[in-house]
Amino acid sequence: MDWDWLFEFLKGMVKPVAALAVVLIAVILSFMQNLGLEKEMVYSIFRAFLQLSIIGFVLQFIFNQDNSGWIILAYLFMVSVAGYTAGQRAKHVPRGKYVAGVSILAGTALTMFVLVVLNVFPFSPRYIIPVAGMMVGNAMTVTGVTMKRLRDDIKIQLSLVETALALGATPRQATLEQVKRSLVIALSPVLDNAKTVGLISLPGAMTGLIMGGASPLEAIQLQIIVMNMLIGASTVSSIMSTYLCWPAFFTKAYQLEAKVFSSD
């Protein structure tokens, strides 16, 4: 068996291991300040090392296969994990993990389909998997915040929503302001990031290209594409989540579902 790949991998890990020096500084500072975060810091960085190493080997395998089935499988795995994580954030939303997963799937799949059709990216593992990962991760955060905020806002303004329903408003009409507020709050960080990109810090995709030897002009072209797709996927996913939340918030008689809003 050829073990050259393993030796090359271990050789390449010398610099990442050397970079642990800055983590050691953080651990020492945490100890000196009695923060109690030393074990969590060590565990977090160990888990990051392990997860990234494993995903590196998995991606290497998928890239070598050049099979669209592996692309879809990897994409669905990312969506499943993202849906579970976003659902955990909005734990008081019934079927929250399902709602989040479907919303993330809809937003990212639509965005990715448009990009492939317009030939922005070819449908190959080397492009689609990293692109999908960025979109899914961003959509996960936005969707989780949207769902949690919508449920919390309706709970805070229960009397207002119930009054609107009593006057004949539909669930959508009665919660229109709460939906708008939750979407604005969830999407604002994405839009703020787009406004300040390149001015405060260089984004990851752009930094990676420049460090990899690409010209800054090529790097900014890719980064513009990335910002566009993040805004598109996040917006579709967050709006979709509000539509999927409504059935759980109201009864068939257009009344608020009391058990959804009784817990803190």
One-character DSSP codes across 236-260: HHHHHHHHHHHHHHB-TTS-B-HHH
Per-residue pLDDT band at 89 (split at 50, 70, 90): confident
Phi and psi torsions of 66, nearest 5°: 50, 50
Q: Are 107 and 236 in contact (CB under 8 A)?
A: yes
- The mean pLDDT value of the chain amounts to 86
Angle at CA of residue 76, ends 129 and 245, nearest 5°: 120
Q: What is the pTM of this model?
A: 0.83
On the question of pLDDT at 9 being above 60, the answer is yes
Per-residue pLDDT band at 2 (split at 50, 70, 90): low
As to burial, measured by CB atoms within 10 angstroms (0-12 exposed, 13-18 middle, 19+ buried), residue 244 is: buried
Per-residue pLDDT band at 264 (split at 50, 70, 90): low
- Each residue of 13-34: pLDDT tens digit? 888 889 889 999 999 999 898 8
Per-residue confidence (pLDDT) for residue 1, from 0 to 100 = 53
* Single-letter residue type at 200: I
Q: List the single range of 34-38, 200-204, 252-256 with lowest mean pLDDT.
A: 200-204
Q: For residue 98, which of 147, 171, 153 has the smallest C-alpha distance?
A: 147
Write the CA distances from 188 to 43, 92, 138, 146, 195, integer angstroms.
32, 23, 12, 11, 10
- Each residue of 156-203: pLDDT tens digit? 888 888 888 888 888 888 888 989 999 999 999 999 888 888 777 677
Rounded to whole angstroms, the Cα distance separating 20 from 27 reads: 10
